[in-house]
Amino acid sequence: MSTVLWIVFFLLFPAVILYAAYKVKILAKIGPIILAYAVGLLIGNTNMLSESQLEIPKTIATASIPLAIPFLLFSLDIKKFKIIAGHSLLSTLFALIGVIVAIVSGYYLFGKHIPEGWKLAGMLVGVYTGGTPNLAALKTALNVDPELYILTHTADTFISIIMILFFLTIAQKVLLHILPPFPKIENNGDGDDNTTSDEMLSQHKKHLELYDDSPKAFARIAKNYKYYPHLLYAGLLTIAIVAVSFGIGKLVPQNYFEPVVILSITTLSIIASLFPQVRNLKNTFQAGMYLILIFSLSVATLGQFSKLIHGSVDVFYYVAWAIFVSFFIHVLLSAIFRVDVDSTIVITTAFTMSPPFVPVIAAALKNRYIIISGLIIGILGYAIGNYLGVLIAYALK
């Protein structure tokens, strides 16, 4: 294949993956990002690309993240954070403490044995405060080797599945032995609070639609032509933000160029979200997630199975430590300060597995009242993950 065809492939094949996942249920359950990684690894390990052509996915992967961050953050509504109060606020603080303590301690136990383990620490901070988008952003900010990135994502996916199954099944019953239940007055379900219930139901449906990155959401967006100009305006603003950020990056020493650019893009995107004209642009979050799919396909192409197998053990241990120890600390602090079980589980979900999993876990807990706070905290994680990841990484370097 020629260079032009490969470029077209990397930019458009994620749409094929989304369409396939939309049509085939088993593919939807596997997830578009995992499918993108699988296809990328297959291409990269079957010599379909020549040595010189490997620069194509490398360039696309490098470019896609700076473009994705603004799209992901434009819909951020800072005013919504006032909803985070009481137990939700405490639980968020405890979750952050758990993540930082687990990752810093894990670095000294496992990270030092991993080449560029300090970069892995930064990525783990990102993924456990904002999910895959932050993991990808910090891969770019810290200039992480593709094999280490893929290893990290693979280990995180595997262990997160265990956590999800735990949360979906016995977590609430187990943790009720040490944590108080969710306040009954807010979760009686007997019809005494119909107005509040209807308002909350409407709000969380709006948030679900806003941050829905399922194949069905992309299919719906593809048919909704009236919102295409919104994506064009968001694209032009994104290009301007990236251009300004690259200019700022040129003002610092070369060693700090990547993190400064990523943090600058994050900051300018958050500032842009303060304007209703930007915040109300439709489908920008989904456009950002499409760019994450492009990144996933491209970066996986650079991964070599031999390197992945050789370096998997220490990374797996570090990721497992980060997930389980951070959760243990979160639960311990919640027990000491009497934070309820549902808030603890949902905040952990929002941070370690990203906002789209919040409604799923809330449904398993039979508690719709925690969806809004869980989603908002998850989006907050998108905003702070890049800053915190870079800070921890360079502190450990």
Least confident range of 72-76, 98-102, 176-180, 392-396: 72-76
pLDDT digits (tens, 9 = 90+) for 166-191: 988 899 999 999 999 987 644 334 34
Could you tell me if residue 313 is inside a domain? yes
Could you tell me if residue 294 is inside a domain? no
| DSSP string computed for 320-374 | HHHHHHHHHHHHHHHHHTT--HHHHHHHHHHHHT-GGGHHHHHHHHT-GGGHHHH
Q: Comparing 367 with 185, which gets the higher pLDDT?
A: 367
Predicted pLDDT at 213:
78
Could you tell me if residue 36 is inside a domain? no
Predicted pLDDT at 373:
76
Could you tell me if residue 20 is inside a domain? no
Separation of alpha carbons 191 and 74, rounded Å: 37
Cβ count within 10 A of residue 3: 11
Check pLDDT > 60 for residue 49: yes
Could you tell me if residue 333 is inside a domain? yes
Predicted pLDDT at 177:
94
Whole-angstrom Cα Rg for the chain: 21
Q: Do residues 293 and 36 touch, judged by C-beta distance below 8 A?
A: yes
Could you tell me if residue 273 is inside a domain? yes
pTM of the model: 0.78
- Host domain of residue 383: 74-279+309-396
In the chain, the number of structural domains is: 1
Could you tell me if residue 208 is inside a domain? yes
Could you tell me if residue 5 is inside a domain? no
The mean pLDDT of 225-247, rounded to a whole number, is 93
- Cα–Cα nearest to 72, from 150, 130, 119: 130
Check pLDDT > 90 for residue 332: yes
**Any residues with CB less than 8 A from the CB of 62 and at least 6 apart, and which?**
140
